[in-house]
Structure 1
């Protein structure tokens, strides 16, 4: 066993090592604290791997806008009335910013059953005739094959529409026919809609003289409640 002096010297040496370790820990803690403070002061610091982009606001601040768009499901078509399908497809193309040359491949991929059989025949026939199938031609061909017959006059059907059931059913049928016509002014649409309503509804809202179809529908709903 060493003398008391040797023991004291040994303890001093050990304490020196411990003190040096504590200093290193303190320095590391200070560095981490500095990093946290910087991140708190700059929460919108750009990160190339982040999925958001930044847009300058009117007041010079930075507005974070997500670059990820909502995922929309492309509508499928199997051969029924293409009116609604075309409406949904056009909305999809507009929202997603679909390029013109991608429209036919994307739409034809989502054809099913009878519609898909028709497409397989069309894509073999037209190219042999030297015709390129662009989106406008695709619409014309599909509409000619699956659309309503030419003898149906949607303008006349809309002008003669009458409310026989609920207001909701009447509005649904009115909008369905309205999507198939063109050239109608707001005044004509309002007059036709009002004229087709049941008397107990139209008589109660005619005094307000609605200027738009939206206004006429809202008034009819309030009267029907």
Structure 2
């Protein structure tokens, strides 16, 4: 048998060496797996210990929470009991002092107590009169909370009992809300006030602002002033930084049209000043309405008599009230009347708006009460806007009382033909090739309408 060659021996030796290496690698891998299993066992043991410790901690926390709940309930019940006892004691002392203090049935307080301090003379101290705690049913929470604080400070109620004392005087929906609220969370006075305001006062400020902005005079001036001041105080309660400009502007805007111009012309800087001017003007208007309701304009020579309406802030048959703008900032109150012979503008508005007036042939007007008025000024081509359209009109200057301007027959004629719907207060016509619609203001207030017969004559 032939011996293996050198190459064969080399291959066999290499294979044997490779088997040894593989066996060593497997042995090292098995050792690594064994070490890993040992480490995993230790990790599992540590994990079980952590789970056991967390369960013990959770049970301890649960027990502590239960004990805190029981303790909190006991503290609250003790506080309520102490509050009741203190209130009953205060009531008993007040009743006792009221009975023993004076023989007069109308007496409400105890006799003065003499207190001496060193060499000073006796100082008289009168006990406070009996005062009931403010009730709360859900309305005006900020006012109620302020009253609660005043009561606590006056009677030196411990702050720890504020919530309990206040909760005893909740009524209606507020009492039911607090009963549910108390079951969910127990808080101090600061949290209690926050929760009360969030529940019952979240929309108070927007609601008060909407009421202020929507107020309009629909009855007597006194009623409007009372309603406006109430709305103003509610708004200022939530935002005390609001200035007088807002309130004065909104007050004038809410007045009747025959008062707006008179108050605005005086440029009041405070609401009290604006109210005073409005009341004075309202008295003057009442006196003006009490005079004869018929005025006659007479000329020096005979001419055709023309019927016109002089309206005290409202409209009658054949006339319509519209609002416009002068110089895009001055509000105009105009009367469109088919019986007026020409167009007029109030002399007070001419001075207030600094309009340029020129001389014209004078026309004298004599009222039925003997008063004589003369118009010798004219504002030529006065530019004014209404319903988004600009007009240019010649207007005579005259004292028109509540109105800023009157558009008469000559203005209606120059814009004819036109569609007139007197029932709905609508005029439709064309001016400079553009269709214009004028909508009169609604007037739901019954007022006096003054008939005026006029005869205009150029002197």
User: Superposed, which structure 2 residues align to 1:96-135 within 5 Å?
Assistant: 97-98=153-154, 101=159, 102-127=161-186, 132-134=187-189
2:251: which partner in 1?
Answer: 193
Change (3 A) 1:73 1:151: closer
Check the 8 A contact 1:186/1:213 in 2, yes or no: yes
1:51 aligns with 2:100: no
Q: Once structures 1 and 2 are overlaid, which stretch shifts more, 212-221 or 143-152?
A: 143-152
CA deviations on 1:174-205 (whole Å, 9 max, x unpaired) are 23433134131112211111221112333333
**CA distance in 1 between partners of 2:164 and 2:180 (Å):** 15
Q: What's the secondary structure of 1:97's corresponding residue?
A: helix
Q: CA deviation at 1:168?
A: 3.4
Check the 8 A contact 1:189/1:213 in 2, yes or no: yes
2:262: which partner in 1?
Answer: 204
Q: CA deviation at 1:112?
A: 1.1
**CA distance in 1 between partners of 2:122 and 2:265 (Å):** 47
Check the 8 A contact 1:75/1:89 in 2, yes or no: no
**CA distance in 1 between partners of 2:277 and 2:123 (Å):** 40
2:329: which partner in 1?
Answer: none
The aligned length equals 163
1:172: which partner in 2?
Answer: 226
**CA distance in 2 between partners of 1:86 and 1:151 (Å):** 11
Change (3 A) 1:213 1:111: same
1:220: which partner in 2?
Answer: 278
Check the 8 A contact 1:190/1:212 in 2, yes or no: yes
Q: CA deviation at 1:150?
A: 8.0
1:144: which partner in 2?
Answer: 198
Whichever structure has more strand as a proportion of its residues is 2
Whichever structure has more helix as a proportion of its residues is 1
Q: CA deviation at 1:119?
A: 1.0
Check the 8 A contact 2:148/2:166 in 1, yes or no: no
Check the 8 A contact 2:212/2:231 in 1, yes or no: yes
CA deviations on 1:194-222 (whole Å, 9 max, x unpaired) are 22111233333334332222332333344
CA deviations on 1:136-180 (whole Å, 9 max, x unpaired) are 432332233233648945434423432222333323332343313
Q: What's the secondary structure of 1:142's corresponding residue?
A: helix
**CA distance in 2 between partners of 1:207 and 1:64 (Å):** 57
Check the 8 A contact 1:74/1:89 in 2, yes or no: no
RMSD: 3.7
**CA distance in 1 between partners of 2:252 and 2:151 (Å):** 33
Q: Once structures 1 and 2 are overlaid, which stretch shifts more, 63-72 or 172-181?
A: 63-72
Q: CA deviation at 1:70?
A: 4.3
Please, which runs of 5 or more residues in structure 1 have no aligned partner? Answer: 1-48, 55-61
Q: CA deviation at 1:109?
A: 1.7
TM-score between the two structures when normalised by the length of structure 1: 0.55
Change (3 A) 1:151 1:70: closer
Check the 8 A contact 1:53/1:67 in 2, yes or no: no
TM-score between the two structures when normalised by the length of structure 2: 0.30
